[in-house]
Amino acid sequence: MKKLLLLLLSILSACATKKKLENKAPFSLGEVYAQPWIIEDQPAEVGYDVFIPIRSLDVAKAVLQNLYHKGQMVALVIELQETGHVAIARLDANDFQKGDIIMHADPKKEVGNQPPILISKPLPFELTETQAVISYLQKDKVRYVMIDGIRINPVVSYPVQFAKNQR
């Protein structure tokens, strides 16, 4: 009987690998928008940034980590802008492919002359173009909250990479 119970518990715990979305987050966000961009003098240089205005966030209660969006998982970077704190996820079409994570053959060399190695890793969420999921750390546990209704702005064209970096 104990063996049957242990077997049943191990099967149930193996099925629990699906990420659970929280209904309420310990932080408040503003209107999330995405900004596609292109560099004119390098037409292959395109990207997509997601801006998440932070209305309130107590870092003692939660630490923002990653954004799952458009088949990618990207680290969030929090910046102070004129409008307040904003979490930004920078998706670069040159570095990512849908559902894939790219790692270089030698991690000590950035890109160098080494070809990238694709490691396929499906994301744990089914999302539409206007949905994303934020992962955050709360009391040493990773939690997830959905963002719905991401506004997608028209493509911004920068003449050179320097112009994009100065924005």
Please give the domain boundaries of the chain with CATH numbers for all domains.
20-97+124-165 (2.60.40)
Q: Is 103 helix (H, G, I), strand (E, B) or coil?
A: strand
Question: Which residues does residue 100 pair with via DSSP β-bridges, in sequence order?
Answer: 97, 120
Provide the residue-wise pLDDT of the chain in tens; the chain has 167 residues. 444 443 444 444 444 445 789 888 999 999 999 999 998 888 777 889 999 999 999 988 999 999 999 888 999 999 999 989 999 999 866 544 443 333 333 444 444 444 444 444 567 788 899 999 999 999 999 999 999 999 999 999 888 776 666 66
Residues 68/132, Cβ–Cβ less than 8 Å: yes
pTM for the whole thing?
0.71
Alpha-carbon gap, residue 39 to 163, rounded angstroms: 9
Token pair in block for residue 28: 């408040």
Specify the pLDDT at position 165: 65
